[in-house]
């Protein structure tokens, strides 16, 4: 069964500092992995996705993530935080065997300090 663990429910970073959000997954087969962002009172927006192509995936708004099979990780990074990055971020996994439904991690809320 697929599952996702996001380490840290809250992360505080200074504007201009590195953003690092951790995601580990459990899957019986090579999974598809996603990062979504949710701003207050809004739905989820896709930041990036890994679907077995390049292991380093670049997304929108300067975010990128690296798939590491040996560590079963898919951590999200951004070199320099901006105030507009304050939001909640969700890592998700899907498997064909599970009907391609998304299983989400618990989310990490990012606070950006000026």
> Could you list the residues that contact other proteins (CB under 8 A)?
32, 34, 36, 41-46, 49, 51, 90, 94, 96, 98-107
Rounded to a whole number of angstroms, the minimum distance from the CB of residue 88 to other proteins is 10
> 3-class DSSP state for residue 64?
strand
Considering beta carbons, is residue 18 or 46 the nearer one to other proteins? 46
Tokens of 81: 């935080």
Considering beta carbons, is residue 19 or 35 the nearer one to other proteins? 35
Question: Smallest Cα–Cα separation from 67: which of 81, 84, 55?
Answer: 55
Cα–Cα distance, 98 to 100 (Å, whole number): 5
Half-sphere exposure of 58 (CA within 13 A, CB side): 3
Rounded to a whole number of angstroms, the minimum distance from the CB of residue 15 to other proteins is 27
Rounded to a whole number of angstroms, the minimum distance from the CB of residue 75 to other proteins is 19
Considering beta carbons, is residue 81 or 110 the nearer one to other proteins? 110
**CB-based contact 91:4 (threshold 8 Å):** yes
Considering beta carbons, is residue 2 or 73 the nearer one to other proteins? 2
Cα–Cα distance, 56 to 59 (Å, whole number): 10
Rounded to a whole number of angstroms, the minimum distance from the CB of residue 17 to other proteins is 27
């Amino acid at each position: 069964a697929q599952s996702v663990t996001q380490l840290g429910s809250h992360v505080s970073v200074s504007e201009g500092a590195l953003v690092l959000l951790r995601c580990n997954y459990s899957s019986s087969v090579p999974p598809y992995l996603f990062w979504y962002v949710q701003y207050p009172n809004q739905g989820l927006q896709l930041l990036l996705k890994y679907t077995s192509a390049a292991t380093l995936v670049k997304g929108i708004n300067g975010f990128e993530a690296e798939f590491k099979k040996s560590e079963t990780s898919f951590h999200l990074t951004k070199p320099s935080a901006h105030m507009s990055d304050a939001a909640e971020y969700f890592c998700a996994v899907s498997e064909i065997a599970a009907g391609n439904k998304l299983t989400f991690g618990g989310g990490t809320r990012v606070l950006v300090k000026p």
